[in-house]
A and B are shown apart, each in its own frame.
Chain A
Amino acid sequence: MASDLWRPEATLSTLRLRAELLAQIRAFFVARGVLEVETPILSAAAIPDPHLASFSTRYAGPGPLDGRALYLHTSPEFAMKRLLAAGSGCIYQIARVFRLGEAGRRHNPEFTLLEWYRVGFDHHQLMAEVAELVNQLLTDRLPLTQEVEWSRYRALFQHYLQINPQQAGIAELAACATAHGVSIPPGMPTDDADPWLDLLLTHCIEPQLGQGRLTFVYDYPASQAALARLRPDDPAVGERFELYLNGIELANGFHELGDATEQRRRFERENTVRQELDLPVMPLDERLLAALESGLPDCAGVALGFDRLVMLAAGADSLSAVLAFPLDRA
């Protein structure tokens, strides 16, 4: 048994499929004049999102960073935004990214993200482009209706669970979970609705999304805007979107927040939450904030899980089936 762990887990035909999809993606962006870029995996700063854990390492060697902690990026977002602010125009990257603690049937702590930014696009225009690319990549590989489904986050909860996610209190969210047969995890917060919404989304809604067609969810609650700009609707929403296919989350995108002050405020709030949760406080990316200060062009960006795309294209049921060497063989 153990002696077989030197072998790749993915079949050679799956590895050829990976290569074909990568080539098709590059052709798609070349045809549109989107520039391929590469940015560092290691950074002296890290994302403070309390739900993301960064691998860290210590640099030893010449230069002022000697002895300093460096973090493996969880996405190339910050560096790519610095390129955008420097006038790169539309860019894409196929990057290996790293997330501590994420392992399972659809997670590997090291995975491949396709991330791209379109200058002058809002999240609706970018969603249309994502749909075009994914439909093009998957059409001949699995049963897929070209017609795309769109749903606001709020409408999604109203449709599947008959609740308003931006108004429901904790008691109502808990009752909704119980009514749908979801056991309430111990230690759920009593003052923060977002983990409850995440519970309902992952358990009751996500498995039903995007059956045989692309489903985009957009306009998230302001508290879940992440790096998206807010639109002052009533209540305000984050101009963020997610793409689902066959119950699997494939991509997350933003109409990008360009306001340096607001970005710093969000980072600091996330670090405060980290402190409350006894998680390490992350060094803020001052170079990203300086880039935003100097001016990020109006743009939308998206990160798409390439391995999950391959998994769908290959008709596989787990991420490890499309990785040459998943974590346990790495």
Chain B
Amino acid sequence: MNRILNASIRLSVSTLVLAASPLLAQKNQPAKIKAAAIQVEMIQSDEIKLPAEFQVALYENLIRQLEKNGFTHVYRDGDRNATNVADLVVLHSTVRGFKAGSERARQVTTVTGATSITVHCQFTRPDGTSLLERDVNGKVRFFGGNLKATYDFAKKAAHVAQENFSSPGRE
């Protein structure tokens, strides 16, 4: 009888520990930075020669993905409406690596011709105070045109923003 009681106590304790672990993990996560709105600057590629269509596709996809990820106010580069917004976060992106790849090679060989792009994302306040810096990459390995790498990057960058910033409409 005692053995059964012991076993049931152990089982319940271990269940409690397992159930509580995600809650503890959440407590350990760093607090999200308050961001009422985000402004996306045009992608810079001074060191790496990036085709204009990639630059524009990166920028447009990034804005679209940030809007999808719950940022209620996403301002474009140079938007005058963003000047007086409180808790504004500015996203500066600089291309650090680019491999054009080949859609034909991808489809014919499957293993070669991947397109990849690495972008350094820096989130700052309008005064230039840095809040967060990350290198985010975008890839297309099997299907799709080369520009699909820009979509992959945008999704990952928006995810980084979602993880680290709290927008009023998203909480």
Is the pairing of A and B real?
A: no
